[in-house]
Each structure stands twice: as structure tokens, then as C-alpha cells.
Chains A and B, each alone.
Chain A
Amino acid sequence: MSAVTRFLAVSDFLRSYLTVGIFAGVAIALVAGILGLGSLIRPTRPQASKYVNYESGVDPVGVGWSQAEIRYYIFALLFVLFDVEAVFIFPWATRLEAYGTFGAVEMGIFIGILALGLLYAWRKGVLRWL
């Protein structure tokens, strides 16, 4: 590579990174600009009741750091299991005939592996509520 092409390559590189720099600058300016504009033009009338935790319009009971039952999370996870299953099964089901045996076998493997997750949850006693 001659010195000239090397110099051109370097300035090319600077141009590429200028793009990245401009991009980052615009991203920061956009967020700062919108938030800044909001804080400039909005009225500020602080009242104690505005700083109370929101609880669907009624007066909140207890503190924000209350504990929730862990089992809800486990059921949420199991829900994700079936949700993912549904996301893939629906498009497959709309073209069931077209995919033929190949599609049936593939979906069988997919459901089989997901069912293992359910089997795991069952064997670990997660499905019992109490």
C-alpha cells in the first residue's frame, strides 16, 4: 500500500467513525432535548399527594417493598413455555397440508422438547399450588 492510499484509508476511517460519532451525538441530543423541553414548558406545582405511590386511584396500603408470592413467577414462566409454543404452532397450523410429513415430524420434535419442560416442572412439584 502506498503512502497516499494509506492516507486515504485513514481519512476514510475517520469518516466512518464520524458517522458513529454523529449518530451518538444525535441520540443523546434527542433524549436531552425532549426531556429538557418538557421540564422547561411544564408547570410545576408540587403537592404531597402527587408523590404517593400509584395504586389504581385508591389510597395505597402498606409500603412499595411488599413481597409477592413466588409461585406467581413460576406460573408466569410456565405460561411463557406455552406462549412460545403457540407462537410457532399458529403459523405452522395455517399451512399444515403444505408442510406435509416433514412439518409434522419437525413440530413433533419441537413440542416434544417443550413438553420436557412441563415434565420437569411436574416432577419438581411446581404444579401443586400448596
Chain B
Amino acid sequence: MSFPATASAVLAVGDAVPFRSPALDWHALAPEAVLVATAVVVLLVDLFTAERNKWLASTLSGLGLLGALVPVITLAVDGNTRSLFGGAYVVDDFALVMKALFLVAGYVTILLSTDYIGEGDYWEGEYYLLVVSSVLGMTLMASARDLITIFVALELLSIPAYLLAGWRKRELTGNEAGMKYYLMGVFASAVMLYGMSLVYGGTGTTVLAGIGRQVAGSFGATPVAALGIVFVLVGFGFKVSAVPFHNWAPDTYEGAPTPITAFLSVASKAAGFVAILQLIFVAFYGRDEVYGPMMWVLAALTMTVGNLIALRQTNVVRLFAYSSVAQAGFILAPLAVAGDSPAVADDAIRAVVSYLLIYTAMNLGAFAVILAVSRKTRSGELDSWGGLFEYAPGLTVLMTAFLFALAGIPPLGGWFAKFQVFKAVLGAGGASAYILAVVVAVNSVIALYYYANLARLMWFQSVPDGDRSPVRVPAAINLALALCVAFTVATGFFPGLVGHFGDAATDLVAVALRR
């Protein structure tokens, strides 16, 4: 029974439709079930433990995220595509790759938070509960193939993030961070819901596959379809902080606790991209002349504006805020040409997924170093990074690796990500694709300037205050650094590692073209 038929049957007054309980595939839902259980346990532990035992919340939520990774792996080994609730919830390889990304990014965030939150005047139990809830929303998003499920997943991942962004509630910048993020977030949700209502009004279904069939058919040619597609994608443009919807990002990133900045710039952004990928490849693929140019403009603007403003930053967190805006532009670029042909669509999805995986590792790594260094310097200004090599050579080498990876210099992971973007864009051919490739290339050079500038400060400047005492790095941050640097370096030397995940994720586009 298809979804619209069910809906109309329920609406028919007085009809006693026999209710059949949906067949629940518990294996497919296991990662989310583990996360819900973790959230409940963390809440209860926080409520019934003494102040000195609050560290349990951090440990338990970390274990819970790793525990949720187990069913993801067993599902990947099993390999079947599972479709639940009439196609509204699909567990395929694309979903599994992204779920693994969110769980690992969440785990690294918790590693980064442990000492920061434990030492500050913060609410530990609630903090970890909210991080786990947000990761739960992201794992839901990876499987959501239905407008309503996408919306529920988006709110589930965003609302905890609004609270976390404003966590330093006694500081004005913290309030500003939370308030700006919240207001822009709900504004984006409103625009997106309006677009969804237009799409639903035109197609009569909320399931993406059903929308995809109608968008490819006669509904796709109507003006309403264009309006709906634009509004829905604009909503997610806010989430991934694409220019001109990026203006919340720098203030929010600066005012939020640094581990949450890392989380927002990586996991929350990736969740926005997951939604965009699903919408474009499953629902809107038939109207590439609507989303294609839009993605082209967004990508070119995001890269250029993000990089140019990043050049002028004097605060390291703001620098990384604008850098992450610019990186989003690189990730958007392949989507501009995705509708060209099925082969290009495959390349585009490969490029986006590999970029997200590598970007997650290198950006989280860079934030781990920022956290470790700011524990000593207590400052976010770029000047305080001068002469880091003299007292923290290990951290300097790691930061340099992450910076050059972000700039896309071989043999570190970032080059493969950029290479995949070029491959997808140039594979499409045509004047607009070549211009976009030139924009990407120019921006890679601009980005190298400010990344290399930070490296120059660390290696060649002298220590500003002459304090050469070593930086004490907590064990949790060391573990996070080890995970990030291992992935960043390994993907540079063995790009097949991440390429394999990219290939697996192309089963999303296969769904779109099978009709």
C-alpha cells in the first residue's frame, strides 16, 4: 500500500481501516536504539550521582557512541539495503557511511569536551545528553528519505545544537552565539518548511522517491516545483553555512565552547550536506536546471567570500569559522554539475562523501590542537600562536599537518578530497563547469595563504610573552589527535581507503536513476 493511499483512507470519515503494525527491522534501527538508550542512561546517571562522579556522563556517552557503531558495522557486513515505513527510512550503504561519520565525529567531540567541560563551570550531564541527542538526529538524517522524517531529524539535531552553542551562558559572546544560531536556524526551518509544503502540495507525497518520480514527470515543469526546490535547498544552505546564508557562523563559532565549534563545523555541516544529497539525488534529480545553477552560484560565492574574509581574521577560531565556510563551498561545487549525466552524478556523490570524511578528520584535528594550545595561552588571538614550535613541537607538527591537509597539499588527505572535486567538475565538461573548476583552483591558492600564514607564525615567530613552559595535553585530546592525524595521513597515502566509502555511497544515486 503506498503512502498517499493510506493517508486518504485514514482521512475518509468513518472508515474502519484495519490497522497493521509496521514490520520493524530492529537490526536496521539498532544504531538509533543504542543512542536513545545512551541518552536515557546519561540523563539518569546525571540525576542520581554526586557532583564528583559527573565524569561518568562523559565516559558513558563516549561508550554509547562507540556502541552504536557496532550495529552500523554489522549492517555494512550484511550489505542488504533495508527500507522501512514505506520507503521513508532507508538503510543503504550511503546511510551507513554517513552514520559512521557522525558517530565517530560525535565520539571525537566528546573526547575534546571531557576536560573542557569537566574543568569549567558547566552542566556536565546535560551537555553530554544534548551531544548524544544531536548525534541521534544526524544518524536519523542519514536514513531519512521522506520530507517529514528529514524535518524531524533536522530539528532533533539542531535544537540540542542551539543549546550547546549558548552553553557559556554567563558570557555575552556565548549568549550571542546561541541566540544568533537559534534565530537563523528557525528562520531557515521556516523557509524550508514552506518549500516542503509547496512540494507536497504539488506531488501529494512526502516520500522522496515518489517526489522524484513526479519531479521527473509533468509536475517538474511547473513553476511551483521550481519554487519548492529553491526554498527547500535554501533552508539547508543555512545549515551548511553557504554564502549568503553564512552570517551566523563566525559569531556562533566564536562564542560557542570550542569543542562545540568543532562539532558544528564538522558534524552539523555534514548533516546538512547529507540532506542536500538525498534531496538532490532522490527527489529533485529530474530538475537539474533548477538546483544546478543554484549550487553553482552558492559554491562559487561560498568559496570566494569565505576565503577572502578568512584572510583578514586575527582570531584563530574566527579564522577557522571562515575556513569552514570556504570548505563548504568546495563540497558544494560537484553538486552544481551533478545533473549532467549519471556518470557525473556518481562522481559528484563520491567527491562529496570523500570530502566530508577527510574534512571531518582534518578539521576536528585542527580544533583539537586549538583546544590544547588555548589551555595554556588562554587566548584565541593569532599572535598568541607565535613560536609554538619552541615549547610544543609535537602540537606544531600536527597542526601543520592539518593545515596543509586543509589546503589540499599532497601527500596529506586533503589532496584526494580536492582531486575528487576537480574530477567531478571537469568530468561534466562545458563552459560553466570549466569556470567553476578555475574558481575552485583560485580559491585553493587563496586558502593556502592563510593556512600557511598560521604555520609560519608557529614555526618562525618568537614567543610573544616569552613563556616557554610546555603545554600539558590531556589524554582524551591526545587520543582525539591520534585518531584524526592517523585518518588524515592514511587517506593521503592510501586514497583507496576513503574512495571505497565514496564508491559505496553511490548507491544513493543508483536509487535516483533506477526509475
Residues of A within 8 A of B (CB): 1, 6, 9-10, 12-13, 16-17, 19-20, 23, 95, 98-100, 102-103, 113, 116, 119-120, 123-124
Which residue of chain B has the shortest Cβ distance to A117 in the bound complex? Answer: B43
* Other-chain contact of B430, A6, A100, A103 (Cβ < 8 Å): A6
Query: Are A98's CB and B18's CB within 8 A?
Result: yes
Query: Are B47's CB and A123's CB within 8 A?
Result: yes
Query: Are A119's CB and B21's CB within 8 A?
Result: no
A110 → chain B, closest Cβ, in Å? 12
Query: Are B19's CB and A16's CB within 8 A?
Result: no
Query: Are B40's CB and A19's CB within 8 A?
Result: no
Which residue of chain B has the shortest Cβ distance to A102 in the bound complex? Answer: B21
- Please give 20 more A-B residue pairs, beta carbons under 8 A apart, in addition to A13-B293, A98-B19, A124-B47: A10-B289, A16-B226, A16-B287, A17-B293, A19-B223, A20-B227, A23-B227, A98-B16, A98-B18, A99-B21, A100-B19, A100-B21, A103-B19, A103-B21, A113-B36, A116-B40, A119-B47, A120-B43, A123-B47, A123-B48
Q: Is B230 an interface residue (CB 8 A)?
A: yes
* In the complex, chain A residues whose CB is within 8 Å of the CB of B230: 17, 20
* Other-chain contact of A1, B18, B40, B290, B430 (Cβ < 8 Å): B430
Query: Are A120's CB and B47's CB within 8 A?
Result: yes
* In the complex, chain B residues whose CB is within 8 Å of the CB of A116: 40, 43-44
Query: Are A95's CB and B19's CB within 8 A?
Result: yes
* In the complex, chain A residues whose CB is within 8 Å of the CB of B223: 16, 19
Can you list 19 residue pairs at the A/B interface with Cβ under 8 Å?
A1-B430, A6-B430, A9-B289, A12-B289, A13-B289, A16-B290, A17-B293, A19-B226, A20-B230, A23-B227, A98-B16, A99-B19, A99-B21, A103-B21, A113-B36, A116-B44, A120-B43, A123-B47, A124-B47
Q: Which of B247-293 contact A (CB under 8 A)?
A: 287, 289-290, 292-293
Report the Cα distance A6→B433, complex, angstroms.
13
Report the Cα distance A50→B227, complex, angstroms.
43
B483 → chain A, closest Cβ, in Å? 32
* In the complex, chain A residues whose CB is within 8 Å of the CB of B47: 119-120, 123-124
Report the Cα distance A98→B16, complex, angstroms.
9
Q: Which of B176-212 contact A (CB under 8 A)?
A: none
Query: Are A16's CB and B21's CB within 8 A?
Result: no
Q: Which of B281-320 contact A (CB under 8 A)?
A: 287, 289-290, 292-293
Report the Cα distance A20→B293, complex, angstroms.
14
Report the Cα distance A15→B288, complex, angstroms.
13
Query: Are B40's CB and A13's CB within 8 A?
Result: no
Report the Cα distance A71→B292, complex, angstroms.
50
A113-B226 CB under 8 A given contacts A12-B289, A120-B47: no
* In the complex, chain B residues whose CB is within 8 Å of the CB of A20: 226-227, 230
Report the Cα distance A1→B292, complex, angstroms.
15
Could you mark each residue 31-45 of chain B with 1 if its beta carbon is under 8 Å from any beta carbon of chain A, else 0?
A: 000001000100110
* In the complex, chain B residues whose CB is within 8 Å of the CB of A100: 19, 21
Report the Cα distance A98→B21, complex, angstroms.
10
Report the Cα distance A95→B43, complex, angstroms.
33
Report the Cα distance A20→B291, complex, angstroms.
13
* Other-chain contact of B40, A12, A23, A102, A113 (Cβ < 8 Å): A113
A19-B19 CB under 8 A given contacts A13-B293, A113-B40, A120-B47: no
* In the complex, chain A residues whose CB is within 8 Å of the CB of B19: 95, 98-100, 103
Which residue of chain A has the shortest Cβ distance to B226 in the bound complex? Answer: A16
Q: Which of B43-75 contact A (CB under 8 A)?
A: 43-44, 47-48
Report the Cα distance A119→B45, complex, angstroms.
12
* In the complex, chain B residues whose CB is within 8 Å of the CB of A16: 223, 226, 287, 289-290
Report the Cα distance A123→B47, complex, angstroms.
6
Query: Are B21's CB and A19's CB within 8 A?
Result: no
Report the Cα distance A19→B223, complex, angstroms.
6
A76 → chain B, closest Cβ, in Å? 17
Query: Are B227's CB and A13's CB within 8 A?
Result: no
Report the Cα distance A116→B47, complex, angstroms.
10
Q: Which of B316-340 contact A (CB under 8 A)?
A: 340
B18 → chain A, closest Cβ, in Å? 7
* In the complex, chain B residues whose CB is within 8 Å of the CB of A119: 47
Which residue of chain B has the shortest Cβ distance to A12 in the bound complex? Answer: B289
Report the Cα distance A98→B493, complex, angstroms.
59
* In the complex, chain B residues whose CB is within 8 Å of the CB of A95: 19
Which residue of chain B has the shortest Cβ distance to A124 in the bound complex? Answer: B47
Report the Cα distance A101→B430, complex, angstroms.
59
* In the complex, chain B residues whose CB is within 8 Å of the CB of A102: 21
B425 → chain A, closest Cβ, in Å? 15
Report the Cα distance A113→B41, complex, angstroms.
11
* In the complex, chain B residues whose CB is within 8 Å of the CB of A12: 289
Report the Cα distance A130→B156, complex, angstroms.
33
A27 → chain B, closest Cβ, in Å? 11
Which residue of chain A has the shortest Cβ distance to B221 in the bound complex? Answer: A12
* In the complex, chain B residues whose CB is within 8 Å of the CB of A10: 289
Report the Cα distance A12→B291, complex, angstroms.
12
Report the Cα distance A119→B19, complex, angstroms.
33
Could you mark each residue 221-233 of chain B with 1 if its beta carbon is under 8 Å from any beta carbon of chain A, else 0?
A: 0010011001000
Report the Cα distance A103→B21, complex, angstroms.
8
Query: Are B43's CB and A17's CB within 8 A?
Result: no
A17-B226 CB under 8 A given contacts A102-B21, A113-B40: yes
Nearest 10 Cβ contacts at the A-B interface: A102-B21, A19-B223, A16-B226, A98-B19, A123-B47, A13-B289, A16-B290, A12-B289, A19-B226, A9-B289
Which residue of chain A has the shortest Cβ distance to B48 in the bound complex? Answer: A123
* In the complex, chain A residues whose CB is within 8 Å of the CB of B21: 99-100, 102-103
Report the Cα distance A17→B230, complex, angstroms.
9
B47 → chain A, closest Cβ, in Å? 4
Query: Are A19's CB and B43's CB within 8 A?
Result: no
* In the complex, chain B residues whose CB is within 8 Å of the CB of A98: 16, 18-19
A52 → chain B, closest Cβ, in Å? 30
